[in-house]
């Protein structure tokens, strides 16, 4: 897959987060064991809620290879859209356009067109849009919404990291640092896949979306007229569901106090006060006080991203949390 950039496209690359996309990929992860390694604690926690969902209609439109209906996961229009805003766009889909996308998707899975669910989706596309949107909404509330503060925090931290990488290395360094299957060459972003697809961006630029559930893949998607988009695995997913308190060294807890040491150790990736409070099960006011103290001791530094402040460890903070001395010491 080749995305060809013109001069204007270089100025129109942006990042965004899509709760609707994370919901879809969480549903897909339930279906694919090869994706589940990083998410076992989450899978254990949502087992009962997932058992109450019949996800067959959505799974049927998630072929292993081939067309996934773009109308079910439209690229977000802004950097921080809500799930409700995204779902409203799904519900507003033209039934005739939806039927064609559903047909293309079903054709990619042997037997899907002839299945009872497949026939029902095609027979009444207006109802199909409603059924798929309702099921997506139930999946959001059961699988993602209870964990959204934690998920959003890791996605926002990824964007903060890569925004700084873009400033330091330019587009070539940014793209090649997102995923091993991305290559930048002669104003073209190449997504290495078996299928070949060329697209001139024609001034639309490129939307970049980190995802907690897409690992180990990188996905280049959306046919015209949709916004060209690349979805890549967010950094730090290996620690996404871990409890920082279980990893806090006893010696560090004696030095700083248990709660303050937990906060320091939880900052494996930059995070906001709210995200840390959710991760650690502490009140935001308590976390804020600990962050202030750790910053005053030279162990943390704040970084502002849009309307939020993210905290990350300084070299001294990293050395205390990991036991690894700063470089050059």
* Residue 87 CB neighbour total at 10 angstroms: 18
Q: Alpha-carbon distance 229 to 211, whole Å? A: 12
Select from 243, 263, 252 the least CA-distant residue to 324.
252
What gap in Å lies between CA 284 and CA 265, rounded to an integer? 17
pLDDT reading at 160 higher than 70 = yes
Using the predicted structure, report yes or no on whether residue 325 has a pLDDT greater than 80. Answer: no
The two three-digit tokens of residue 281, written as one number: 């099960």
Q: pLDDT tens-digit profile of 206-263? A: 999 999 999 888 988 777 778 899 999 998 787 787 665 456 888 898 999 999 999 9
Please compute the mean of the pLDDT values over residues 270-285 and round it to a whole number: 85
Which of these, 239, 240, 233, 258, lies nearest to 248 by C-alpha position?
258
Note the Cα 156 to chain centre separation in Å: 9
Burial 41-61 (b: 16+ CB within 10 A, else e): ebeeebeeebeebebebbbbb
Is 70 within 8 Å of 229 (Cβ atoms)? no
For 189-215, the pLDDT digits (tens) are 998 876 677 888 988 899 999 999 998
Supply φ then ψ for residue 96, to 5 degrees: -65, -40
| pLDDT exceeds 80 at position 64 | yes
pLDDT score for 327: 45
- What count of residues does the chain have? 329
Q: What Å distances lie between residue 274 and 112, 149, 319, CA to CA?
A: 44, 8, 24
Burial class (CB in 10 A: 0-12, 13-18, 19+), 37: exposed
pLDDT band at 129 (very low <50, low <70, confident <90, very high): very high
Quote the mean pLDDT of the chain: 88
Q: Quick one: pLDDT band at residue 137, thresholds 50, 70, 90?
A: very high
Instruction: Look at residue 324 in the predicted model and tell me its pLDDT.
Output: 57
- Segment 10-20 mean pLDDT: 92
Q: Average of pLDDT values for 19-24?
A: 96
Which CB contacts under 8 angstroms, 24+ apart, belong to 190-197?
190/1, 190/2, 190/3, 191/1, 191/2, 191/3, 191/218, 191/220, 191/230, 193/1, 193/220, 194/65, 195/1, 195/65, 196/1, 196/2, 197/1, 197/2
Task: Identify the structural domains of the chain with CATH numbers, from first to last.
Answer: 19-146 (no CATH), 242-322 (1.10.10.10)
pTM value is 0.77
Is 328's pLDDT higher than 60?
Answer: no
């Amino acid at each position: 897959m080749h995305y060809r950039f013109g001069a204007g496209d270089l100025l129109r690359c942006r990042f965004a987060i899509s709760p609707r996309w994370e919901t879809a990929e969480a549903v897909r992860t339930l279906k694919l064991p090869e994706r589940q390694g990083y998410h076992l604690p989450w899978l254990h926690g949502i087992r009962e809620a997932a058992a109450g969902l019949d996800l067959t209609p959505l799974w049927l439109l998630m072929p292993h290879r081939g067309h996934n209906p773009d109308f079910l996961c439209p690229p977000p229009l802004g950097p921080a859209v809500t799930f409700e805003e995204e779902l409203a766009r799904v519900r507003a889909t033209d039934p005739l356009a939806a039927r064609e996308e559903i047909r293309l998707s079903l054709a990619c899975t042997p037997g899907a067109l002839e299945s009872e669910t497949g026939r029902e989706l095609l027979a009444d596309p207006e109802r199909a849009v409603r059924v798929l949107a309702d099921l997506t909404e139930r999946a959001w509330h059961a699988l993602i919404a209870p964990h959204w503060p934690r998920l959003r925090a890791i996605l926002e931290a990824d964007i903060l990291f890569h925004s700084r990488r873009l400033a330091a290395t330019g587009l070539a360094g940014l793209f090649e640092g997102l995923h091993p299957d991305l290559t930048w060459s002669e104003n073209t972003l190449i997504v290495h896949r078996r299928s070949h697809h060329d697209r001139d961006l024609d001034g639309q630029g490129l939307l970049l979306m980190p995802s907690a559930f897409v690992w180990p893949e990188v996905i280049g998607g959306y046919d015209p007229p949709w916004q060209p988009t690349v979805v890549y695995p967010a950094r730090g997913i290996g620690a996404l569901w871990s409890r920082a308190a279980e990893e806090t060294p006893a010696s560090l807890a004696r030095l700083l106090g248990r709660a303050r040491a937990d906060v320091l150790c939880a900052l494996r990736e930059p995070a906001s006060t709210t995200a840390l409070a959710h991760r650690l099960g502490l009140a935001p006011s308590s976390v804020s006080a600990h962050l202030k103290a750790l910053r005053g001791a030279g162990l943390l530094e704040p970084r502002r991203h849009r309307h939020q402040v993210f905290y990350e460890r300084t070299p001294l903070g990293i050395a205390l949390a990991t036991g690894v001395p700063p470089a050059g010491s």
